[in-house]
Amino acid sequence: MSNLAILPILLPLLTGIMLVFINKQKTLVKVITGIMVFVNLAVVSWIGSVVFQEGPLVLEAGDWPAPFGIVIVADQLAMVLVITTNLIAVASAFYAFRSLDEQRERYYFYALFQLLIAGVSGAFLTGDLFNLFVFFEVLLMASYGLIVLGGTKEQLRESLKYILINLFSSILFVTTVAFLYSVVGTVNMAQLAERVADVEQQGILTTIAILLFLVFATKGALFPLYFWLPRSYSAPPTVISALFGALLTKVGVYSILRVFSLIFIYKLEFTHQFFIYMAGFTILFGVIGALSTNNVKLIVAYNIIPAVGFMMAGIGVFSATALAGTIYYLVHDMIIKAALFFLVGTMAAISGTYDLRKMGGLIKHHPLLGWMFFIAALALAGLPPFSGFIGKFLLLKGAVEEDHYGIVAVGLIGSLLILLSIIKIFLNGFWGEARLAPEQEKASENGRLFPVALLLIFTIALGLGAEFFYPGIQGIADSLVDPSIYIDAVIKE
Amino acid sequence: MELLMAILAGLLFSTGVYMLLQKQILRIIIGTALLSHGAHLLIITMGKLNRGGPPILSEGVTKYVDPLPQALILTSIVISFGVTSFLLVLAYRAYQKNGTDNMEKLRGNNHE
Amino acid sequence: MKNVTNDLILKTATTIIVFLILGFSVYLFFAGHNAPGGGFIGGLMTSGAFVLLYIAYGFQTMNRVVKIDFKTFIPIGLTIAVLSGVGSFLYGQPFLSHTDGYFHLPIIGKAHLATAMIFDLGVYFTVIGVTMTIILSIAKDEGEQVENAE
């Protein structure tokens, strides 16, 4: 049974390789992609249900026992995120069928897309710090391929910066792992968690912790390391932006969540206090960025940053309630960011421009698109009854319980500003006089709304069905506060 | 020996960072290559530099070499090889398309 | 031919040296597992030999002679590597489990074979594919813009 844990990585990887071979037959590629995303979703859901019923699945690759070999750990947290990833993969695949031009499809878009899913799933599932680096590189390699896809002037310019900043943080990651190995003598996360408590020089461990945090903060776009994100995420085509915005930064957040709930938990008053400050600044600066521009895609890209800030706030507060909020918000944000990117992509495709000042009155001919955007905007800002509300409510409740009133205030102000920035798109883009008659429009919304609807149904379900989802999420948060559950699952005495 | 390696790694890091701060793309890429070499040297130094047999239980061998840093380095070298080569091609294409390899001119304030 | 160069020595030496390099790369590939060597370094060495050929004889000539699309090496190699890991599923073992044994082969005699070799073969192909693709994609356009159409 333990081989189940590797399937979420293997299936997309094999599909991706297969798609390279048959790259010439375009319809076949699409058919296989369409089938495989659903197969993947079904398989990971099944694995998820097994994990939720029977506890974490651990795969020791090559039959080497845990502290020596590479382990793949499918625990509840990882599986929830892998399932969400595959859900977004389904939506993205169907959006790509409708929106990508032929040239980009020929340059292995679908193969790289599957590779990205494999890398993201791998990063969620790995139980080994060095392997986390390897899967980071796998998903980054796929993202490098995707971000230059098509090779426009702007894409090439922005991708250079994106790759350089990621390369630098990867090197820092390797360096940090080297330091950690010399101090603790292992890279297996469960064994690290056991051993850090016994290390005599706590000072160097704190240094390592902060270095690791900086690495993940660069990948996850936290203040002040988010500067690379907005432009490089808005340069490529919409479907790629959506994949990046939904998945890549979240892998960084997940890494922080995992590492700082499992390994570096002995100095909470320093590290986690620091996180709260970072979270506050991230929320404020991100939202100011979102307010500063009229480019619709850039607004959504900037909105990734405050979301990361909210999640960091939960990790900083570090109580079971706040962590449950973080996990809820993580899932919610992956879904809603993909949906928003698809929506603004559709808007821009219809009006032929990304500039908000040149849009207007879209709701006249596209009422469904308009109301979907309205729902997505409310969900993003965290209004009830959508999923964002539950996440934010849990986060802020956790923060109040632990007397972090400052972050609560920042969070509330941030939410209001987020609502302002996203409603601006709604007011300028959908209301007012219709600028274009139906026959002047550059593209149709046909087929593009199905993936969005799929995602929105899930946000509504996550919000209204909170009664159903909440106990599971709370269970995950409880197990994060008590790392011994994870350690016992990986290292069997 | 560890001291020498540490100094060497430090030198590589400092030259790498210096190169990273240049304006030309090619120099920046060389900088990242130097940085990753520094990181690899650091890993091997962290695993303690000694000569000896592989860590397989056999009689007569008393001195073992830690295999894990070597495995980590090999993985890391392969990855940095892949990324650097990709970056070189990308830099070349970006140079062709944008007509400059000066990072100052690649700022991109105008958002198309 | 715009500029005819006088590279007789390079061309003559290359014909001999290439075979030496290729032979050494095969040795390195098989030496892996228990001694320094393996798929990665073997693959690099092989592509080194190919690059030397390209340098000595030029891109056009080589393209006429060697009709291999190195890009296809990448998926082939990856498939071999991944499937070698999946193979252990059939025996109910965890992913990437490997086994080895001593076999009696004709001509060579007693040989130590390991299933890790199959994985290495995948790495070998992938490395050749990646290296050659990268080098050739830069080498292809000589000054003027050439759209690579494949």
According to the 3-state scheme, what is the secondary structure of chain A? CHHHHHHHHHHHHHHHHHHHHCCCCHHHHHHHHHHHHHHHHHHHHHHHHHHHHHCCEEEEHHHCCCCCCCEEEECHHHHHHHHHHHHHHHHHHHHHHHHCCHHHHHCCHHHHHHHHHHHHHHHHHECEHHHHHHHHHHHHHHHHHHHCCCCCHHHHHHHHHHHHHHHHHHHHHHHHHHHHHHHHCCCEHHHHHHHHCCCCCHHHHHHHHHHHHHHHHHHHCCCCCCCCHHHHHHCCCHHHHHHHHHHHHHHHHHHHHHHHHHCCCCCHHHHHHHHHHHHHHHHHHHHHHHHCCCEHHHHHHHHHHHHHHHHHHHHHHCCHHHHHHHHHHHHHHHHHHHHHHHHHHHHHHHHCCCEHHHCCCHHHHCHHHHHHHHHHHHHHHCCCCCHHHHHHHHHHHHHHHCCCHHHHHHHHHHHHHHHHHHHHHHHHHHCCCCCCCHHHCCCCCCCCHHHHHHHHHHHHHHHHCHHHHHHHHHHHHHHHHCCHHHHHHHCCC
Residue range(s) defining the domain that contains residue B93: 2-53+63-104
Q: How far is residue B103 CA from its own chain's centroid?
A: 21
pLDDT digits (tens, 9 = 90+) for C22-37: 999 999 888 876 777 7
For chain B, percent of residues with pLDDT exceeding 90: 27
B86 in contact with A, Cβ within 8 Å? yes
Pick the residue of A20, A59, A112, A490 with the most C CBs within 10 A to test the interface with C by mutation.
A20
CATH classification of the domain holding B37: 1.10.287.3510
The domain total for chain B is 1
pLDDT score for A216: 92
Of residues B82, B88, B92, nearest to C130 (C-beta): B82
Taking contacts as CB-CB distances below 8 angstroms, the residues of chain B near A302 are none
In Å, how far is A359's CA from the nearest CA of chain B?
Answer: 16
In Å, how far is A22's CA from the nearest CA of chain C?
Answer: 11
Q: Which two tokens stand for residue C2?
A: 């715009």
B90 in contact with A, Cβ within 8 Å? yes
pLDDT digits (tens, 9 = 90+) for B71-105: 888 889 888 988 998 898 888 888 888 888 888 88
Of residues C40, C137, C145, nearest to B89 (C-beta): C137
Of residues A140, A178, A181, nearest to B39 (C-beta): A178
Work out the pLDDT band at B16, boundaries 50, 70, 90.
very high
Dist. CA B88–CA A184, nearest whole Å: 36
Q: Which two tokens stand for residue B24?
A: 């030309």
pLDDT score for B2: 82
* pLDDT at residue C148 tops 50: no
pLDDT score for A490: 82
- Does some domain include residue B41? yes
Highest mean pLDDT among A261-270, B25-34, C6-15: B25-34
Dist. CA A190–CA A147, nearest whole Å: 35
Taking contacts as CB-CB distances below 8 angstroms, the residues of chain C near B86 are 134
As to burial, measured by CB atoms within 10 angstroms (0-12 exposed, 13-18 middle, 19+ buried), residue A427 is exposed
B62 in contact with C, Cβ within 8 Å? no
B88 and C138 in contact by Cβ < 8 A? Answer: yes
- Does some domain include residue B112? no
* pLDDT tens across the length of chain A (493 residues): 577 888 899 899 999 998 988 888 888 888 999 999 999 999 999 999 998 888 888 888 777 777 777 888 888 899 999 999 999 999 999 998 888 877 777 888 899 999 999 999 999 999 889 899 999 999 999 999 898 887 788 888 888 888 999 999 999 999 999 889 888 888 888 888 888 878 877 888 888 999 999 999 998 888 888 888 888 888 888 899 999 989 998 999 999 999 998 888 877 788 888 899 999 999 999 999 889 888 888 999 999 999 999 999 999 988 889 999 999 999 999 999 999 999 998 888 888 888 888 887 888 888 888 888 988 998 888 887 888 888 888 999 999 988 889 899 999 999 999 999 988 888 888 887 777 777 777 777 777 888 899 899 988 888 888 888 888 888 888 888 888 888 888 887 5
B68 and A181 in contact by Cβ < 8 A? Answer: yes
B100 in contact with A, Cβ within 8 Å? no
Pick the residue of B34, B37, B49, B72 with the most A CBs within 10 A to test the interface with A by mutation.
B72
Pick the residue of C134, C136, C141, C147 with the most B CBs within 10 A to test the interface with B by mutation.
C134
Instruction: Please state the rounded mean pLDDT for residues B47-52.
Output: 74
pLDDT score for C3: 58
Contacts of residue A233, defined as CB under 8 A and 6 or more positions apart, other chains included, come to A241, A244, A245, A301, A304
CB atoms near residue A416 (< 10 Å): 13
B21 to chain A: closest CA residue: A164
Convert B27-58 to b/e letters by CB count within 10 Å (16 or more is b): ebbbbbbbbbbbbbbbbbbbbeeeeeeeeeee
Of residues C40, C138, C145, nearest to B89 (C-beta): C138
In Å, how far is A213's CA from the nearest CA of chain B?
Answer: 18
B82 in contact with C, Cβ within 8 Å? yes
- Does some domain include residue B111? no
Phi first, then psi: give them for residue C31, nearest 5 degrees: -70, -20
Dist. CA A23–CA A165, nearest whole Å: 31
ipTM score assigned to the predicted complex:
0.91
C95 and A14 in contact by Cβ < 8 A? Answer: no
Chain A / chain C CB contacts < 8 angstroms: 38
The set of chains that have 3 or more CB pairs under 8 A with C is A, B
Q: Which of C74, C87, C146, C75 is nearest to C115 (CA)?
A: C87
Instruction: Please state the rounded mean pLDDT for residues B24-39.
Output: 92
C95 and A62 in contact by Cβ < 8 A? Answer: yes
CB atoms near residue C4 (< 10 Å): 6
Residue B65: strand pairing partners: none
Phi first, then psi: give them for residue B106, nearest 5 degrees: -105, 25
Pick the residue of A138, A146, A164 with the most B CBs within 10 A to test the interface with B by mutation.
A164
C75 and A61 in contact by Cβ < 8 A? Answer: no
Taking contacts as CB-CB distances below 8 angstroms, the residues of chain C near A17 are 75, 78-79, 82
pLDDT digits (tens, 9 = 90+) for A13-33: 999 998 988 888 888 888 999
CB atoms near residue A281 (< 10 Å): 16
Angle between helices A7-21 and A76-99 (to 10 degrees): 20
* Residue ranges covered by each domain of chain C: 8-139
Q: Which two tokens stand for residue B27?
A: 């120099």
